[in-house]
Chains A and B, each alone.
Chain A
Amino acid sequence: MPTTKAELLQGTLDLLILKTIAAGPMHGYAIAQRIQQRSDDVLVVEEGSLYPCLYRMEEKGWIQAEWGKSENNRRAKYYSLTRAGHKQLEEETAIWERVYRAITLVLQTA
């Protein structure tokens, strides 16, 4: 299914953010850092699209935000998963794995 780059990234970005936050509450900067770290610097999140994505997900009710103090004592907005967010994470992970398996199959056939 040919989709534009932006759409594909957006869908996966949701998944990446959800997974990252599942470990514990984080602010936006930390989320971006973590994703980059964990993917061995392959996935560099476009900062311009991170925050709109976070806000969208908050609207949808998958994550919730709270203001708190950062490591260096600055005010920052921390995001955490809601129960709906957990469910969404499971669903999207399952979909991703299915897609991944399917594409692998196709590539394997000579």
Chain B
Amino acid sequence: MKTLRTIWLRIRSLWQRREVKREIDEELRFHLEQRAAENLAAGMEPEAAAREARKRFGNVQNVREACRESKGASFGETTWQDVRFGLRMLCKNPRFTIVAVLSLAVGVTLNSVIFSVVDGIWLRPAPFADPGGVVRVFAAAQKYRYGEFSFPDYLELRDQMRSLSGLATVDHRGASLMGEDGPEDLLADVVSRNFFSVLGTAPELGRFFSESDDATLKNTPSVVISHRLWQRRFGGDRNIVGRSAQLTGRDLVVLGVAPPDFAGIRRTLPPDVWFSQESWGHEDLTSREWREFDLVGRLKPGYTAPQAQAEAETIFRRLDLREEQASGSPERARVVSEARYQSESNAETGLLLLGIVGAILLLACANVACLLLARAEARTCEMAIRSALGGGRLRIVRQLLTESLLLALLAGGLSMLLAGWILHVLPAWLPSAWDHVDLGARLDGRVLVFTSAVSLLALLVFALAPALHASRANLLPALKGERSSGGFRRRRSGLDALVVGQMSLALAVLSTAILLARSVLNSYAADLGFDKKDILMVHGIFQLYPRYYGNVERQRLLRSEIKERVLALPGVKRASVALEAPYGGGGGPASKVFLPDDWASENSPGRSVNFNSIDTDYLSLMGIRLLRGRGFTEHDNQSSPKVALVSETMARTFWANEDPLGKYLRIDSRTNEPVQVVGVVRDVKRNNIEEIPEPYCYLPNTQTTRWDNFLLVETSVAPASLAGPVRRELQRLGVTVPRSALTTMKAYLHSYLFDGDWRVVEQEVLAKVVALIGLLGLGLAAIGLYGVQAFAVSRRTQEIGIRMALGAQRQNVLRAVLCRGMSLALAGVALGLVITLATAHLLRGFLYSVKPDDPLSLGMSSALLLAVSLLACWSPARRASKVEPMEALRCE
């Protein structure tokens, strides 16, 4: 009851200030009149009576104020006073306000943006029903952890695993959507019919594939389209269900539309369309060798991922599924929850980025704390007067905190705007290879909450200390106008510590940026085993022409026709067709190779070897060096003895110290015709920069029945200019190639779509982002150093004047101030190096061929920081040296 009453009084006093004032006046007036009446009754004259009453009462104004204070000193009113005063103070010092708000805004914006990105990539829970129950199933071995499965393997697992209520497959492909202005390349996922029910999601429109659709889907091939595609290409047409779309040359019926933000299992690469397996028409679902399928499943209630993993393990062993290629060690099963999989892939990067922007925020807060401390010095007088008037320490602290809160609010508001804008333009800033990537970074509720929390945290960090410090102001010296040297020194060391802290953080971030940059440069310069000159690459030429599948003769004819036509084009130097291109071309499954020792034994499993089927021009076009023996020639054809080329690793692995030239082996089965090794070539990187080379074998395409995947064209002009002509020639031969299938080697090396080493691209983007952040941090730290030095000089003008009057040279003063500033910078560098070295090991996963404590990188960042510090200290130092002794001594 009491609290209600107090609240009521407070609210009343807030809204009825004038009313309350009037009441108080009336009450006091009544009292005075009563007193005057009494005096009158005692015999005084009316005027004297009134005067005596007033005199006896005392200072009416003070009483009025005191009453108002007691009554109207409600929280709301004083806070409103504080806010008004704070706003006035901020407007009176625009430079301070702008620098402080901008510094804070930089820190908070960076944190918001990065958090938004990390949230989209990793933290945000997936839009499935009960996402905790979704798991991924992988095959793992020594060298890889995310191995895929063949379709028969999947069927065994699906039927035998009791801990899963459902297991579905996903195959990542591409499709081409035909529209008025030509074909558009889309990301497509080919999934089993139970995919959507395993993930547990409801369609926006229409329906999803279901188990019972087997026959329906075979007769009417259907697809599910993504929400984004539905909006973008079909205008959000609510009658889309049942209409047909032309995808990759076929007409498919739209079965349904996925809900917004549903991306399947690859969060950052959301597919635009889902095919069911029947609709896609996979080439061969019975082959155990064709391992293309990712598995995703849902745990039955009560089962955990480790249990499912143990069960999968036993199934593996029972089926004697496989052994790791070339090393013979068996593959293990891995079952991890979807959340853990996302975190495995993305946690490191996310945490690194969050750590870096956290450091920048600390930097920004230190900056603002410095500004506040410096300003507090200037306001000591004001504080002292307030204290003397009975402000009370708490009141002063509240006032200062309110000002800081206003700063934080301004900075927070500005940050939201900036973050929103940055996220809006972010897709345009990403490399073109990332056209289909969706970082999922949005300014949604989660991000706003995070931003607010960060702003408040920043507020606490930077505002409390100066506020408490200022309120403790020693009254007397301040009122007399003196500057108490004791307090001043304490404040100076506080400022110095803040500056050193800023410098150290800036150094740590800069070092990280330089390390990442060097790592990226090293990656680009790395030797991949082939010549990275710019050539035109056409991908998937035969995949799109199922007509020739199985007909070897027609394939060979088409192949030579293509080569002829392309070579006839102006500007073409060489052309070659091959099954695989290095660095992620993904030609086909591995084959079994049988050495003479294995020929006799019936049960010999053979050795797993990846191979490429090439023509005579391939090695020279790609610049793959021949180490021994010879390459393929026109004489190696259908009728001549079978030959092969082996990679140096294969030679070393299979024939150790002997010369492999002239040795025989059998491919695919023990009874096939023996193949003779006629040459040894250099290793090439097949998938990514850091892989350890495995045995690799080349066969002449005249002697295999594999189709080609790649057409490679070496040009004397820019390869991109020949993309059109080559496409037209292929068109004339009946091969329709989507635009995305033509690329140049340069783009290919950076492309995500072709499963190239996207890690390098990711590293490049990461390095650029960190470099930008590092520069911002450097700027903030420089401003901090400059501010503190300028403040120090302005406060010590008198002292400098005295020194100069006593004979100090301008040079000495300049040097002294510079030395003071640079000693701060040096201390910052030293501390920064300690921090960097202590956290160096965390960076190891990001760096390629650069050590985390690389002295050159650390040296570069230190030098950069010191150089910028010198610049920052220069102006205050010059100003100090320009002090006129007479003037300095005269003015206060």
Q: Which residues of A contact B (CB under 8 A)?
A: 27-29, 46-48, 51-52, 55-56, 58-59, 61, 70, 72, 74-77, 84
Contact = CB atoms under 8 A, between A and B. Distances in A.
Given A59-B9, A59-B71, A48 B62 contact: yes
Given A47-B57, A74-B33, A77-B23, A52 B67 contact: yes
A58 B71 contact: yes
Contact of A55 (B5, B58, B59, B67): B67
B886 interface: no
B823 interface: no
| Highest count of chain B CB atoms <10 Å: which of A52, A76, A77, A84 | A52
Contacts of B30: 27-29, 70, 74-77
Nearest to B31: A29
Given A28-B27, A75-B26, A51 B67 contact: yes
A50 B689 CA distance: 87
| Highest count of chain A CB atoms <10 Å: which of B27, B28, B57, B59 | B27
Contacts of A72: 37
Nearest to A30: B34
| Highest count of chain A CB atoms <10 Å: which of B26, B28, B34, B56 | B34
B70 A29 contact: no
Nearest to B71: A55
Contact of A84 (B2, B24, B37, B69): B2
A47 B27 contact: no
A21 to B, nearest CB: 15
Interface of B: 2, 5-6, 9, 23-24, 26-28, 30-31, 33-35, 37, 56-59, 62-63, 66-67, 69-71
A47 B58 contact: yes
Contact of B70 (A52, A76, A77): A52
Contact of B58 (A48, A70, A75, A76): A48
Contacts of B58: 46-48
Given A27-B30, A29-B35, A51 B23 contact: no
A58 B5 CA distance: 10
Contact of A52 (B26, B37, B66): B66
Given A61-B2, A61-B6, A55 B31 contact: no
Contacts of A29: 30-31, 34-35
Contacts of B6: 59, 61
| 6 interchain residue pairs of minimum CB distance | A48-B58, A52-B66, A55-B70, A29-B34, A56-B70, A61-B2
B642 to A, nearest CB: 103
Given A46-B58, A59-B9, A75-B26, A52 B33 contact: no
B57 A28 contact: no
A77 B28 CA distance: 10
Given A27-B27, A55-B71, 20 more contacts: A28-B27, A29-B31, A47-B63, A48-B58, A48-B66, A51-B31, A51-B66, A52-B67, A52-B69, A55-B67, A55-B70, A56-B70, A58-B71, A59-B6, A59-B70, A61-B5, A61-B6, A75-B26, A77-B27, A84-B2
B46 to A, nearest CB: 16
A48 B33 contact: no
B27 A76 contact: yes
Contacts, number: 61
Contacts of A27: 27, 30
A36 B24 CA distance: 23
B51 to A, nearest CB: 15
A51 B71 contact: no
Given A46-B58, A58-B71, A59-B71, A51 B28 contact: yes
Contacts of B35: 29
A27 B31 CA distance: 9
Contacts of B9: 58-59
Nearest to B68: A55
Contact of A48 (B2, B27, B59): B59
B754 to A, nearest CB: 76
A55 B70 CA distance: 6
B38 to A, nearest CB: 9
10 contacts: A27-B27, A28-B30, A29-B34, A48-B57, A52-B63, A55-B67, A55-B70, A56-B70, A70-B30, A84-B2
A106 to B, nearest CB: 34
Nearest to B30: A76
A51 to B, nearest CB: 5
A48 B5 contact: no
Contacts of A70: 30
Contacts of B71: 55, 58-59
| Highest count of chain A CB atoms <10 Å: which of B26, B67, B70 | B70
Contacts of B24: 51, 55
A46 B2 CA distance: 29
Contacts of A59: 6, 9, 70-71
Contacts of A84: 2
A51 B63 contact: yes
B63 A48 contact: yes
Given A48-B57, A77-B23, A28 B70 contact: no
Contacts of B66: 48, 51-52, 55
A79 B67 CA distance: 15
Contacts of A75: 26, 30
A49 B887 CA distance: 52
A59 B20 CA distance: 13
Contacts of A77: 23, 26-27, 30
A47 B5 CA distance: 27
A74 B30 CA distance: 8
A47 B38 CA distance: 15
| Highest count of chain B CB atoms <10 Å: which of A51, A61, A70 | A51
Contacts of A56: 70
Nearest to A71: B34
Nearest to A47: B57
Contacts of B57: 47-48
Nearest to B35: A29
A51 B65 CA distance: 11
A58 B26 CA distance: 17
Contacts of B5: 61
Contacts of B70: 52, 55-56, 59
Given A29-B31, A74-B33, A47 B56 contact: yes
A76 B26 CA distance: 8
Nearest to B20: A55
A61 B9 CA distance: 10
| Highest count of chain B CB atoms <10 Å: which of A46, A47, A76, A84 | A47
A84 B2 CA distance: 8
A46 B31 CA distance: 13
A55 B26 CA distance: 14
Contacts of B33: 74
Contacts of B23: 77
Nearest to A84: B2
Contacts of B67: 51-52, 55
Contacts of A28: 27, 30-31
A58 B24 CA distance: 13
Contacts of A51: 24, 27-28, 31, 63, 66-67
Contacts of A76: 27, 30
A60 to B, nearest CB: 8
A10 to B, nearest CB: 12
A46 B67 CA distance: 14
Contacts of B28: 51
A80 to B, nearest CB: 14
Nearest to B60: A48
A19 to B, nearest CB: 20
Nearest to A44: B56
